[in-house]
Structure 1
C-alpha cells in the first residue's frame, strides 16, 4: 500500500501538511502523530494495515499527544468517529491541580507565542549528523533508523545543513492541551460513541517517568474507560517503548487490523 498523495490543507495561519496512503475506496482513518513528530511517524505501520473497509464514518488513530487530540475530538464530535485507536496515549489529560494551574498554563503559553512572533531570530542550521544525534538525545525511545525517518519530513535542506520545518509556536506543549478534572474526564468519556482501543507500551512514557501521581491518573483513566464504555473498550499492553508503532509496526498492525475489522484483540498481558 503505497503513498497516494501529499496534501496541504489551508488554514488562516498557513497550512497543515498531510499525506494519504492506500485506496480512496477504503474506510478513512485519520492518523495524528505525536507532539513535534510528523506524518512519517506512520510510514512503517500504515502499509501493514487492511484496506477496503467500507463504513459511513471515519476512524481516528493517534500516537502520544495525537491520541489526546483524537480523544477530545471524539468526545466533542462523537457522531463523526466510529473507532478510536490510542497508541501509548490517553484520550484526555488529567491534572489533579488543574483548577489552580489552568490560568498559569494559559498565560505561559500565550507569552511564549508572543515572544516567538516578536522575535526575528532565524532558524538554526545544523549538520545532518548533529541534527540526528540531537533528536535521539531528546527522544531516547527512538532508534537511529526511526529518527532518520522523522527527519526526512521534519527538516529542510539548505546550503550549509538542515533546518527544522516545524512551527516554533507549538514547542510549548501547554498551548495545545486542555487539562481535565476527574469529573470532566468522566463526562467526556460518556460522550464517546466510538469503540476505543488503547495499546499501551510496557516501557512507554507512563512507565519511564515513574511518577506516582502519573501512575494513579493512568489507572484512573483506564478504569473510567472500562466502566463507561464496557465492551466498546479494549486494552492491550505489549513489550516496547513509546514509539512502538515505529519500532514494532508488525505487532501493532496485527492488533490494529483486528480491531478495525471488528475482531477481539489479544487480551492485556
Structure 2
C-alpha cells in the first residue's frame, strides 16, 4: 500500500439517494463522496443492487461515486415483459445514465456481471471511459458457434417460464436475510442484510424481492471466443482487476491467463469469496482502487 493510500480515512457520511430519468425510465442510485471529484459509475452484480458498494464507498470519498441499481434490480425500473435483460441493453442504460449525470468521460467501478458490462461498455465506447476498477469479473465465458441454437432455445423457454413468476414471500426481513446469506454465493450477515434492505418490498404476508423475476432467464445470445477477445483488445484504458482467492469456482483459472495477455490490466488477488468487496477485503481493495481511479496509478 502506498503512503498516500495509507492516509485515506473512511468517510461515514450517509450517501445521497438519487433517482435519474434515463430515457424515460427511473434508475435509482446512491451517490457517495465528493460531488466535484472524479466521476465514477459503480455497477453491481447479478441479483444484487447498489448497496453492494456500501462497505467500500466510505474509503473512496475523494471520488464522485454514483452506484446505480441496474434495471430490474433494487429500486430501479423493470423492463417490459417483451424485453430482455442482456449486457447489450445494460450498456445502453449505462451510457444513458452517464449522459443523465452530465458525464462525457468517466471511470467505472464494477463487480461480477457489472464488471462484464463495464468491460464491454468501455470497449464499445473507449473514448468515454477513462479507467476500469473491476472486482471478480472481466468478460463473459465464451460460447461456441455450435451452441448457438441451444442457447437461443434455452433463453426463449426460460423467458416464458419467468415472465409471470411470482417472487417468494418472506414473513420478516430477518428470514429474507437468512435466505440471501445462504444463496448461490455465501454472504456474511452484514453483507446479506445490506443487499436485502435495498432489494425487498412490502407485500401481502410480509416482504418479497424487488428484483424482476425475468432476470433469472438465460441470455438468448452469447459471445464466442473471437468476439470476447475483440472486445478485450478495444479496452485499452488502464484496468485494475481484484479477484477473490475463494471466489467463483474456476474464476481465477479462467480469468488470470486471459488478463495476463492484456497489457492494460493489472491483476491482484485478495482474500475472500465472490463478494470480497463487501466483506473482509473491502477496505484493502478500496485503498488499491482509490488513487488509481483518481488517475494517480
TM-score of the aligned structures, taking structure 1 as reference length: 0.81
**Structure 1 runs of 4+ with >6 Å offset:** none
Map 1:194-233 to 2 at 5 A: 194-205=237-248, 209-210=249-250, 216-225=253-262, 230=263, 232-233=264-265
Aligned to 1:189: 232
- Answer yes or no: is 1:141 the counterpart of 2:153: no
Aligned to 1:7: 19
Cα 1:103/1:61, change in 2 over 3 Å: farther
Cα 1:10/1:218, change in 2 over 3 Å: closer
Report the Cα distance in structure 2 between the residues aligned to 1:146 and 1:216, rounded to whole angstroms. 26
TM-score of the aligned structures, taking structure 2 as reference length: 0.74
Q: How many residues align?
A: 245
Question: Contact between 1:9 and 1:17, CA under 8 Å: does it hold in 2?
Answer: no
Cα 1:75/1:35, change in 2 over 3 Å: same
- Answer yes or no: is 1:47 the counterpart of 2:71: no
Q: Deviations over 1:24-54 (max 9, x none)?
A: 212210111000000111111112114258x
Tell me which of 128, 150, 153 is aligned to 1:107: 153
- Answer yes or no: is 1:70 the counterpart of 2:118: yes
Question: Contact between 2:185 and 2:274, CA under 8 Å: does it hold in 1?
Answer: no
Cα 1:191/1:37, change in 2 over 3 Å: same
Report the Cα distance in structure 2 between the residues aligned to 1:135 and 1:52, rounded to whole angstroms. 30
Structure 2 unaligned spans of 5+: 1-12, 65-102
Q: Deviations over 1:76-133 (max 9, x none)?
A: 111110001110111x1233x421223322332233223333x3x5433212233222
Aligned to 1:16: 27
Question: Contact between 1:82 and 1:193, CA under 8 Å: does it hold in 2?
Answer: no
Relative to its length, the structure with more helix (as a share) is: 1
RMSD after superposition: 2.4
Shift, 1:224, TM fit:
2.4
Structure 1 unaligned spans of 5+: 265-269
Question: Contact between 1:29 and 1:60, CA under 8 Å: does it hold in 2?
Answer: yes
Question: Contact between 1:2 and 1:22, CA under 8 Å: does it hold in 2?
Answer: no
Aligned to 1:267: none
Tell me which of 288, 294, 297 is aligned to 1:255: 288
